[in-house]
Structure 1
């Protein structure tokens, strides 16, 4: 599709026309001023030097105008969207609706990230599409802003009229929405929510929950990148903006599931290195700056002939090259060959952050995480989980930033709360439970799934104590490897659906935390089947249905 390029070309032609009209206006002004000449006109030859000077000025101006025109044409060609051919559509689509250009910029970055990961992706202005074209894609990402009183950007008006005004089934489409807005306005991210609502009603399946961005918030954009990396199968995508980490210290690490049939999970406790006060809310996210294993860095230094103790400067601070390499993507040997230590340091790209649900509240005395070890295709531990669960030593410095996540904060009132999750998703649910219990709210119901009851019921002692004294009203578990048939948490929800309805009718909120694949969509399907699409979407709009899935 080339409508975007055509618009830029028309803008360029209008600019040239504007220059011509300006010159004509100046000529007309000169003619008008000539009427004020009282005496007879007398021609005085300016001389050859002045003729040459005038000619040079005219030529310089003409050259300047031509250079600007060429630059704008090159820019228009460079920024033009690649054409989408009906017989060569990609599997992925990135569509944007932008009023100021920011949504387009983010869409281009997202599209490029997919392409860099080897995925066949198309990029388009949302207004050039219709529902029939969307039906040709398996996956689509939408980056949209909101204008006026919750309106769509001008460039999306045609899509709103043609596509969103009709009911077109899109059951094959998985989608994600990045909604840009400003919390100062009542209709915050309204068009993004309208688009998300329309897609769900069309039968499209959310790949993850809508991501809201308040005034370009860097933390929210990193969260979008986190999802983007998971979808692309590339956990090494560089951050668009690096988190402003603070130094924390690893105070405790112990295995959470000894003997489990699944991958090892670990309880971690971290505290600020400077002893400052703990401050966050249940539902917030810990952004961790991972590090390469020290032995991998040492091998790289030896193989490429660099001295790890060499002092280099980065971000106005001096550090050892080996320390900087631990925090950076290790470059290919060819890229490092022949460079000085400082030149190498200048070219290093920082490692991308990792996100983890916080399992504690400040009253626990430490920021606690529940981290499962992940393995790469070659068998090595994952970058983030490997750093936290194995490579970081006792008392090690951990780069950490807390990202507030208001979309998963607990209700402020005493309404009933249904908490559903699986695996390490129990971390976020445990924090919500602790905050609720500390506030004196007892109507809490936990539905949780894992592999084996004997090994995988994290926080067992605390959960049993809360259940025994009534601070946790009820708990239902699904351990998929303990019976002859596999039973998952969504099955428990279905079995208890009458009680779920009773709690919802009493004003309960439903919070889901855990796996994006499998658990989250299955639980969503059970709830939609039982409560209805409109009821569940109304709950989401009221803040009574919230998810933190990954």
Structure 2
């Protein structure tokens, strides 16, 4: 069935439902019933209408996202799944719905029903795939794996991401997902980010996948599929790092745990639970004529509960909420999803340190996460935090040389690694970093220069996009250093990249391929010597 036919079927079904319900209302109105019976009938019809509407909405949404074989929008983003038990399909559908809800054209497909050449019709693709048994593809895609992954198919111009579902109790953990990612790269496709491995439905890994859906255009206000279990931390310090910069303000933040918290390693992630500014909450309560002190949700105040919900910012959105009792109001407003930040410190520092740049919505409002951390929470105030392991970006062995490449607030992840290397007495570290200006945007300048003088940093290359006489972007530092880069890699060096997904990550990958070759770069990735934490 084509997209048009499916949409027409949904419309016809909706019209039929509405006509049927209208007929029922008319019949009930003319029946010789008592007033009490009429009220009961009316109530039953309201419930029936609501249930019918929900069923029709769910059916039509599912129909709109069903795998299709008809015409595909030229700029559609492919979301393809390979499922053994249905879990991969479920995650793929939720991903497609999140992207589609943001207005993006999406084509959802069962990988088993796609010929390999169909991949050539897309510029971006996300794959949600399971591994079954000891490293096998799901039964339904065994034919696709046999026909397509064993051969070659030019895919230059395709950017992709892979969510690999598996179980680490098996020896070949997530093998099919990793094989698919490797094959895509060998065909000339470029990874948007490193494959995300999900161990037995790990909720943290799925939230990380949601983070990348946000980066690709899904709403940043999409509710977490599985909410983190936060712990309270106290904001101990907030310091502006780039006063006078042509870019948006960037802040160094330090948090201390209110109770014993688990440790972390360089490369790990802090999941933050943002809250609305108190003024935003007060404004909504006043507009709705509600008392913020009203107790809801097991005893907390309505004001506190709303602080953690996504609030409307226009009159139409507020008008839709008027007249709702407090419980219904909270039910109607989704919880603010978590935000992810690379940790810039080590447990030995005694503080969880972050590097956060203020972000803004198109209408000028501060972003929920960055606005909360850089402006709205007061120093000494509470911040909800969950620490998440990011084992794919943990440090290499101390004896292995390390090349660190990044830009902007990616310095957070690079800084944690340099701290770990200094603490371990690890020699041979090389930092390549890019920002806007050397005067205002060389984050943690004094610390980095001290590491240079102490021998922790053997080499330092810098790029500044708004200053004459410097390489413009961090990837522009690589061609002149090609010979030394190859020598470091030949000596066993690992390459870690942290920073912007858009622009920087792809630019660095392209230069590394020119210098090292695609096969060598794939070999380094397979050995865990080429790793990326990009956002």
Q: What is the TM-score with the length of structure 2 in the denominator?
A: 0.85
Residue 475 (structure 2) pairs with residue 494 (structure 1): no
Q: Does the 8 Å CA contact 1:278/1:362 hold for their aligned counterparts?
A: no
Q: 2:84 aligns with which of 99, 110, 117?
A: 99
Structure 1 residue 150: deviation in Å?
A: 1.0
Residue 472 (structure 2) pairs with residue 481 (structure 1): no
Q: Which residue of 2 aligns with 1:516?
A: 501
Q: Which residue of 1 aligns with 2:304?
A: 323
Q: Does the 8 Å CA contact 2:309/2:336 hold for their aligned counterparts?
A: yes
User: In 2, Cα distance between the equivalents of 1:467 and 1:479?
Assistant: 19
Q: Which residue of 2 aligns with 1:301?
A: 285
Q: Which residue of 2 aligns with 1:224?
A: 209
- After superposition, residues 70-219 of structure 1 pair within 5 angstroms as 81-86=66-71, 91-219=76-204
Structure 1 residue 159: deviation in Å?
A: 1.4
Structure 1 residue 236: deviation in Å?
A: 1.1
User: In 2, Cα distance between the equivalents of 1:176 and 1:164?
Assistant: 17
User: In 1, Cα distance between the equivalents of 2:195 and 2:503?
Assistant: 18
- After superposition, residues 350-499 of structure 1 pair within 5 angstroms as 350-483=335-468, 487-499=472-484
Structure 2: segments with no counterpart, 5+ residues? 3-54
User: In 1, Cα distance between the equivalents of 2:192 and 2:365?
Assistant: 27
User: In 2, Cα distance between the equivalents of 1:288 and 1:256?
Assistant: 21
Q: Does the 8 Å CA contact 1:270/1:368 hold for their aligned counterparts?
A: yes
Change (3 A) 1:488 1:82: closer
Q: Deviations over 1:233-282 (max 9, x none)?
A: 521111101111111110000101111111110000001123x2561111
Change (3 A) 1:534 1:116: same
Q: Does the 8 Å CA contact 1:125/1:155 hold for their aligned counterparts?
A: no
Structure 1 residue 335: deviation in Å?
A: 4.0
Q: Which residue of 2 aligns with 1:270?
A: 255
Partner-residue secondary structure (3-state), 2:501: coil
Structure 1 residue 75: deviation in Å?
A: 9.2
Q: Deviations over 1:178-235 (max 9, x none)?
A: 0001111221111111111111112222222211111111010000001001212521
Q: Which residue of 2 aligns with 1:31?
A: none
Change (3 A) 1:75 1:425: closer
User: In 2, Cα distance between the equivalents of 1:350 and 1:248?
Assistant: 20
Q: Does the 8 Å CA contact 1:84/1:122 hold for their aligned counterparts?
A: no
Q: Does the 8 Å CA contact 1:250/1:268 hold for their aligned counterparts?
A: yes
Q: Which moved more, 1:513-522 or 1:162-171?
A: 162-171
User: Root-mean-square deviation (CA), in Å?
Assistant: 2.1
Structure 1: segments with no counterpart, 5+ residues? 3-70
Structure 1 residue 76: deviation in Å?
A: 13
Structure 1 residue 89: deviation in Å?
A: 6.7
Change (3 A) 1:128 1:465: same
Q: What is the TM-score with the length of structure 1 in the denominator?
A: 0.83
Q: Deviations over 1:348-371 (max 9, x none)?
A: 321011000000001111000000
Q: Does the 8 Å CA contact 1:278/1:365 hold for their aligned counterparts?
A: no
Q: Which moved more, 1:300-309 or 1:401-410?
A: 300-309
Q: Deviations over 1:11-59 (max 9, x none)?
A: xxxxxxxxxxxxxxxxxxxxxxxxxxxxxxxxxxxxxxxxxxxxxxxxx
Change (3 A) 1:487 1:78: closer
Structure 1 residue 334: deviation in Å?
A: 4.3
Q: Which residue of 1 aligns with 2:40?
A: none
User: In 1, Cα distance between the equivalents of 2:331 and 2:66?
Assistant: 33
Q: Which residue of 1 aligns with 2:246?
A: 261
**Bigger Cα Rg:** 1
Partner-residue secondary structure (3-state), 2:355: strand
Q: Which residue of 2 aligns with 1:548?
A: 533
Q: 1:289 aligns with which of 273, 280, 297?
A: 273
Q: How many residues align?
A: 476
Q: 2:294 aligns with which of 287, 292, 310?
A: 310
Q: Does the 8 Å CA contact 2:235/2:380 hold for their aligned counterparts?
A: yes
Q: Which residue of 2 aligns with 1:27?
A: none
Q: Does the 8 Å CA contact 1:283/1:408 hold for their aligned counterparts?
A: yes
Change (3 A) 1:75 1:116: closer
Change (3 A) 1:228 1:75: closer
